Amino acid sequence: MDDISIIELLQKRNESAISEIRHKYERLCEYIAGNVLSQHEDIEECVNSACYEVWNNIPPAKPNDLKSYLCSIVRNIAINRLEYNTAAKRNNHYTVSLEEISDCVPADPDDNIELSDLADTISRFLRTQDEMQCRVFVRRYTYGDSVADIARRFSLNEKTVATYLFRTRKKLKVFLKKEGYDYE
């Protein structure tokens, strides 16, 4: 089933939409949560919470890209769970990627920002970028892959990956400012 049909089921409050989301995206959600969390139970709970949140948010939210919307929710829930689990101690692997992007996008946007609008804006930006830079950016900041993993995946040098990420973050920051998102 395609995403538009799933969103329509959610809009109609048809519970089969959750089954369709799980069928289509559960492995991806587990992968994203697994890059942040280490306990299987936490990962499973994170995916369940994300499905629940999607159910509660649609409607009124109307995401243009269900996959990005769901990934964003899973990532945020996983980060919150990590903070809860570790309190002062943090998972350095994922914390580093959050710190990298914090100049462009806040980890905890204020209440005036609709997350689906921000996600749509970032998706629009990424569609304007070189395909490889876009793929590297998504692997790092959506899926939480390490620079080394990304380099291996795309047969690139780690310094090249780091450069792609740095340049894309700079361009994203400029783009978001033009769109009215300014976090400084």
- Domain limits at 145? 95-184
From first CA to last CA, the distance across the chain in angstroms is 41
For residues 62 and 85, what is the distance between their CA atoms, to the nearest angstrom? 32
Last residue of a domain, one of 90, 122, 143: 90
CATH code of the domain covering residue 56? 1.10.1740.10
Give, for all 184 residues of the chain, the pLDDT tens digit.
Answer: 999 999 999 999 999 999 999 999 999 999 999 988 888 888 999 999 999 999 999 988 888 899 999 999 999 999 888 877 776 444 455 555 566 777 777 555 554 566 677 778 888 999 999 999 999 998 888 888 889 999 999 999 999 999 999 999 999 989 988 888 766 5
Residues 113, 70 share a domain: no
- Report field, pTM of the whole predicted structure over 0.85: no
CATH code of the domain covering residue 105? 1.10.10.10
Last residue of a domain, one of 90, 114, 136: 90
Residues 182, 108 share a domain: yes
Name the residue among 159, 158, 156 with its Cα closest to residue 132: 156
